[in-house]
Amino acid sequence: MSQVILFDLDGTLTESGEGIINCVQYALEKLGKKEEHPENLQCFIGPPLKEQFMKYAGLSEEEGEKAVVYYRERYTTTGIFENRLYPKIPELLELLKINNKILAVASSKPEVYVKQILEHFQIADYFTAIVGSELDGRRTEKAEVIEEALRRMHLEEERDKVLMVGDRSHDVQGAISCGLQCIGVAYGYGSREELEKAGAVYIADSVEDLGILASPNDEETTENVESVRNIIPDREKVKKSEIPETRKLEKEEKEMPEPEKKKKKFRYSTAGQIWRLIYPFLIHYGATLLATIALYLVYLIQAGGLQETASAGQRLINSTLYVTLIGDLTAAMILYLFYRKDQMHRKEGFSGTGKAFVWAPPVIWFSVIILAIATGQFLNDLINGLHLNDLFTGYSEVSEQAFSGQPVGLMILVVGIIGPICEELMFRGIVFHRLKDWVKPQAAIVISALLFGIYHGNVVQFFYATCMGVMLAIIYDKTGTLWISIVAHIAANLWSLFGSSFWSSLWQQIPAGMLCSIMIEILLCVIPTYWLFGYKRK
């Protein structure tokens, strides 16, 4: 299945017919064309309003525009809330995000209303882009909306990765005209025949059937359909007289006893949550300890036995990078198993609402690399400017001992690649994500960064690693992919090894060079930050 999925709103995510029909009746009555049979107004759900008013009531373009004004007169205050999510839509969206799908909304409804509705039902955060028409009547055709969604996500040249989901023929036709395939939903306001005739590649009879969207291949289709069916117990279908599904769930949670509420949210006691944060460190520490013991025994045997402990000990000190390599590789393999287990638990409804992989164009990856390098260089300059290495000599001694005389290739492998992968698995993939299951994301970012700093074991690296940990956690939380934080970590470490000293030496020969260097570094932090956090809002 496609990596990027565009959803229609009315009739696909939300059952909005009641509000739309009531507002159409209101507008027609204001125009002196009262409609006594609301079932005849189903055709207004989905298509652009002005054109549909003109077609249905034989209005001129000017009268059609007036009808839209009357429609919105009621819709903005009342009709927008005569609406409900289809049952299990939140569970479907959660499943798709966990399975690394990028979601967006492409609706002919005015964008301001689309955002308001998604925020009202608390599902806006699932979507990378939310696109609709303009209030002034521009961009009402479905194809125009889809093209705008592709533009905002920088996917104009990647159409084969994108799939549309909608309930009416104009959704299908709009997708086809943009070079996309479309899945039709027969539980909405269009019939199976309408969707098939328009060219839908598949018809979903229920929200559960959309579980196929989570599948990377056909073999997983059945499994993913069942995932949506089984995420929560079946509920009775919502009647028009009932409150919206999300409000119903909120009411149920408020009425739930406090112990049950805690169980539902955390699933672990406080001691259990703390243990889940501690044992990844014990795994890494244990792997490093075992690597140290194993290598020491090898050197001891090679040296001729127990009488040569001093010689074996010195060789071990000179082999710090080899110990780190073995320990990090071993720990990374074990930690990856726990990381995958956590991901599977979340897929089954585990506590927390972690985001999933968000695809980004090359400029975003490039921005991450520049941000990581600039942040690392800024922190190194700050450490040098504050003379922290002179005040706290522990780091200088450790780095001199570890790196002196070591092969460049080994330093690149251990410090530049394996180390960042292991640390990102542990600190962002496991610890940060588990903190998010327990506390607010902002607190999780700070706590995980502090733990990252403490784990480095000296004052200088505590300062550097804590600040970098905040940046890496924010990047991971924003993009939802561990790969981006790994790439950022690798870039920062490699720059510290081979680029930082060269950069600093360039500015030492220039008056006020340090100030200029810091200003450039700040600029190189700000620009990538804009691309990372601002590009989706274009």
Q: Is residue 338 part of a domain?
A: no
For the chain, how many structural domains are there in total?
3
Contact 438, 273 (CB under 8 A): yes
Q: Is residue 242 part of a domain?
A: yes
What is the separation of C-alpha 254 from the centre of its chain, rounded to a whole number of angstroms? Answer: 28
Looking at the structure, tell me whether residues 51 and 95 fall in a common domain: no
Q: How far apart are CA 358 and CA 347, in angstroms?
A: 17
Looking at the structure, tell me whether residues 213 and 103 fall in a common domain: yes
SS (H, E, C) 438-503: CCCHHHHHHHHHHHHHHHCCCHHHHHHHHHHHHHHHHHHHHHCCHHHHHHHHHHHHHHHHHCHHHH
Query: 277: exposed, middle or buried (C-beta count within 10 Å: 0-12, 13-18, 19+)?
Result: middle
State residue 179's pLDDT score.
Answer: 92
Looking at the structure, tell me whether residues 89 and 75 fall in a common domain: no
Looking at the structure, tell me whether residues 56 and 166 fall in a common domain: no
| Residue 426, both tokens | 């542990």
Query: 413: exposed, middle or buried (C-beta count within 10 Å: 0-12, 13-18, 19+)?
Result: middle
Q: Is residue 316 part of a domain?
A: no
Which residues 6+ apart lie within 8 Å of 401 measured at CB? 317, 320
Looking at the structure, tell me whether residues 64 and 90 fall in a common domain: no
Looking at the structure, tell me whether residues 484 and 505 fall in a common domain: yes
Tell me the per-residue pLDDT of 101-129, one tens digit each, with 9 for 90 and over. Answer: 999 999 988 898 899 899 988 999 999 99
State residue 301's pLDDT score.
Answer: 85
Q: Which of 81, 110, 131 is the last residue of a domain?
A: 81
**What type of residue sits at position 335?**
L
**Owning domain of residue 98:** 4-11+84-255
* Cα–Cα distances in angstroms (integers) from residue 175 to residues 104, 150, 165, 359, in the given order: 14, 11, 9, 20
CATH of the domain at 125: 3.40.50.1000
State residue 356's pLDDT score.
Answer: 38
Total-model pTM: 0.53
| Residue 329, both tokens | 């590789």
236 DSSP assignment: P
State residue 47's pLDDT score.
Answer: 74
CATH of the domain at 48: 1.10.150.240
In tens digits, the chain (538 residues) has pLDDT values of: 688 999 999 899 998 888 888 899 888 988 888 887 877 887 887 677 788 888 888 888 888 889 888 888 888 888 888 888 999 999 999 989 888 899 999 998 889 889 989 998 899 999 999 999 987 778 889 999 999 999 999 998 889 889 999 999 999 999 999 999 999 999 988 889 999 999 999 999 999 989 889 876 444 444 444 455 454 444 333 333 333 444 444 444 445 444 444 444 445 678 888 999 999 999 999 999 999 999 988 888 887 766 667 777 788 888 889 999 999 999 999 999 999 888 776 543 333 333 333 444 577 788 899 999 999 999 988 888 888 877 777 666 667 666 777 889 999 999 999 999 999 999 999 999 899 888 888 999 999 999 999 998 888 889 999 999 999 999 888 777 788 899 999 999 999 988 888 888 887 777 777 788 889 989 988 888 877 765 443 3
Q: Strand pairing partners for 7? A: 105, 165
**Closest to 459 (Cα-Cα) out of 407, 524, 388:** 388
State residue 402's pLDDT score.
Answer: 65
Looking at the structure, tell me whether residues 212 and 148 fall in a common domain: yes
Looking at the structure, tell me whether residues 63 and 126 fall in a common domain: no
Looking at the structure, tell me whether residues 400 and 463 fall in a common domain: yes
Looking at the structure, tell me whether residues 44 and 134 fall in a common domain: no
What is the separation of C-alpha 277 from the centre of its chain, rounded to a whole number of angstroms? Answer: 22
State residue 259's pLDDT score.
Answer: 41
Report the catalytic residues: 8
Looking at the structure, tell me whether residues 122 and 240 fall in a common domain: yes
**What type of residue sits at position 494?**
L
